[in-house]
Every structure is written in structure tokens, then in C-alpha cells.
Amino acid sequence: MSRAKTHGKPSYSASGHQHKKQFGQNFLNNDSIIRQIVHAIHPQADQHLVEIGPGEAALTTPLVQQVKRLDIIEIDRDLHQPLRDKLGHYPAFALHQADALRFDYAQLATDDKPLRLVGNLPYNISSPLIFHLLNFLPHIADMHFMLQKEVVERLTATPGKKSFGRLSVMVQYFCQAELLFIVGPENFEPPPKVDSAIVRLTPHQPLPYQADNFEDFSALVKQSFAMKRKTLRNNLKGWLNDDDFNTCGIEPSLRAEALGVADFVTLANHYSHHYT
């Protein structure tokens, strides 16, 4: 997703680190944006933060000084020793050499404080990472992520909007999603080709609409969006018939993008009760 403006030529940070495209390494280079992000996170002294992809510690440095514990998860081994040298003396600091996509976040939730997740995420893994994190929501207080602006628009879209899709429904089933602000490519080294945005995800407690069988709900949402231009009747053929839609009070000639989370829960619960 990210591209160095040098078109294939390697790009280096001031410390001499060669940015790696395969790890989505676009490092923040604007102190005022970094301050704005930290301000939005609003870290407190008794809190437990987890940062995904610290890179060269643009966000880590201000955060580690302000919280009780900061676990950082970084896949690039070349960055580990510089991170230890820079931040290892802070009592809050704990480094994990790991892939954030496979990481067991529950193992970090050792104290009574729920985790606050933060990160300027590698754009190429942002959707699978968010789906992975949905498994750990009982341990998570909130998440502040920098993502490609288009992904933030999908996360925060309301029904009827062009960017409303499966990711919107699945994330909004669990979380309130807010776009906080947009960050232009000039604030990164190397600059990505697209705009970025900061999103805040706050898990609902309790869930406003509860699916009786989560696997059915998840499968039905996926199937409803299988062919974006098709109607619900067509995408859900073999799952629900017109009588089922009538009973649920949902018009089968609509497309999935017109439905809210509550409608998908209604359809999924009907399916669970009548067909499984």
C-alpha cells in the first residue's frame, strides 16, 4: 500500500534505518501531528497501553513516559535493539518481538486495568489486524489507530454510504467508531501515496444488539455483502426466503449496504432460530 516517493530506491531514516516496504514502514516525522495523536489518546499515569508497530518510537517516546505500562509489539528485528537502547530504562517499557496478527493480547491483560491499544498501523495488514483484535475485546478499553483514510471511512460509515460494508458492520457491532482527524502523506517518511486518518474504536458495553449465535451473524453479514451490487434476496438465496424477510420487516429487494447493524442481527437471529 505504501510507496517510497523515490520509486524503488531505498529510503532511510535519520538514524540510518532502511525503511521496509513489506512492513508498511512509513514513519511519522512531524512533532505537531505526534502531539495531536498523543493528545487524542489522552494517556493517564495508571493506564496499561499496547502499541502495535512502534517503528523508531515516534509515538512510543511520549507515551512511555506517561503511563504505568507500555507493551510494544514490533515485527522488524532490526528495530528491536535501537528501541531497547532508547527506551529500555523506562519502567513502563516492555518489548515483544512478535507479529501483531498472531499475537495473543489476552496474555498482556494481567492487571485489573483493561488494555488501551494504539498504533500507526502498517496499512497492508490493517483489516485482518482489526478482525484479529475483535477476539480480545473483553480485555480492551479502547483503540486509537492511524490507518489509510479509506479504511477509516469504511470503519465509521453509516448505512447507505458508499463505504459501508462488511468491515463497518462487524466493527460497529462491537464498537463505537469515530474518525478523529486526517493526516496528510507529508507527515511521514517515506510519504505514503494516500491520506491517513486517526480512528478511535470504543467497545460497546454492553452490546446494543446481541446476535444469538455470533458465527451465524458473522457468516450472514459476509454472505449479504458477497456481491455488492446484488439484492439481499439474491445474496441470501438458500439462507432466507421472502416470507422470512417479511417476518423480519426487512425489504428483500434492498442491498446489504442499506441495512444497519440491528437489521443484520434481526436477520441472523431469525436464521439461527429457523434454520440451524
DSSP, collapsed to helix, strand or coil, labels residue 73 as strand
Check: CB of residue 64 under 8 Å from CB of residue 45: no
Smallest separation (angstroms) from ligand SAM to the CB of 78 = 9
Contact window for ligand SAM (CB under 6 A) among 19-27, 84-92, 156-164, 207-215: 19-27
Instruction: Tell me whether residue 42 or residue 204 sits nearer to ligand SAM (CB atom).
Output: 42
| Strands of 69-74's sheet in order across | 93-97, 69-74, 48-52, 115-120, 140-148, 196-203, 175-183
Smallest separation (angstroms) from ligand SAM to the CB of 90 = 16
Give which of 126, 106, 124 is closest to 115, Cα–Cα.
106
Task: Provide the grid cell at 38.
Answer: 498523543
Task: Write the interaction track for ligand SAM spanning residues 207-246; mark x where CB under 6 A is met and - where it is not.
Answer: ----------------------------------------
Give which of 230, 41, 68, 66 is closest to 146, Cα–Cα.
41
Provide the pairing of β-strand 196-203 with 188-189.
unpaired
Smallest separation (angstroms) from ligand SAM to the CB of 218 = 23
Among 100, 170, 199, 211, binds ligand SAM (CB under 6 A): 100
Smallest separation (angstroms) from ligand SAM to the CB of 47 = 18
Q: Is 23 in the site for ligand SAM (CB under 6 A)?
A: yes
- Sequence-distant contacts of 32-38: CB under 8 A, at least 24 apart: 33/183, 33/187, 34/58, 34/59, 34/62, 35/62, 36/181, 37/120, 37/144, 37/146, 37/198, 38/62, 38/63
Q: Is 75 in the site for ligand SAM (CB under 6 A)?
A: yes
Q: Is 190 in the site for ligand SAM (CB under 6 A)?
A: no
Among 92, 125, 147, 268, binds ligand SAM (CB under 6 A): 125
How deeply is 32 buried, as exposed, middle or buried, from its count of CB atoms within 10 A (0-12, 13-18, 19+)?
exposed
Q: Is 159 in the site for ligand SAM (CB under 6 A)?
A: no
Q: Tell whether residue 78 is among the known ligand binding residues.
A: no
Q: Is 120 in the site for ligand SAM (CB under 6 A)?
A: yes
Residue matched to cell numbers 501483531 = 100
Smallest separation (angstroms) from ligand SAM to the CB of 73 = 5
- Residues near ligand SAM (CB under 6 A) are 23-28, 52-55, 58-59, 73-76, 99-101, 120, 122, 125
